[in-house]
Amino acid sequence: MPADQRGDRVRHSLPTINWVRLPDGSDPDQRHYATQSVQGVLRVAAAVGFPSVGVDTVTAAGFVDGREDELAGHFRTAGVLLRNGA
């Protein structure tokens, strides 16, 4: 019997191809950065029915120094719950 029919929790992954651009090592000051907006990714996740989304450490790091409420606001606006870590 499939897991979803047994009542087990099934998790699906939201692929985010090229969501984060990593440094190529050519410049020691080069940093990673998001190639898409958090708001856009969350809107898509909500539109296709994801009830929650995890956030990778690179994305979360962009919302430090007092901006944590801003990230939480993006989740509230999209109607998606923040899942612990990805």
Domain span at residue 31? 3-83
Predicted structure pTM score:
0.66
Q: What rounded mean pLDDT belongs to the chain?
A: 76
CB 21 within 8 Å of CB 32: yes
Res. 48: pLDDT tops 80: yes
Say how far apart CA 19 and CA 58 lie, in whole Å.
10
Res. 86: pLDDT tops 50: no
The total of structural domains in the chain comes to 1
Say how far apart CA 71 and CA 60 lie, in whole Å.
8
Say how far apart CA 41 and CA 25 lie, in whole Å.
27
Lowest mean pLDDT among 24-28, 30-34, 38-42, 44-48: 30-34
What is the mean pLDDT of the segment spanning 37-45? 86
Closest CA to 15 of 59, 54, 62: 54
- Model pLDDT, residue 3: 47
Say how far apart CA 39 and CA 73 lie, in whole Å.
10
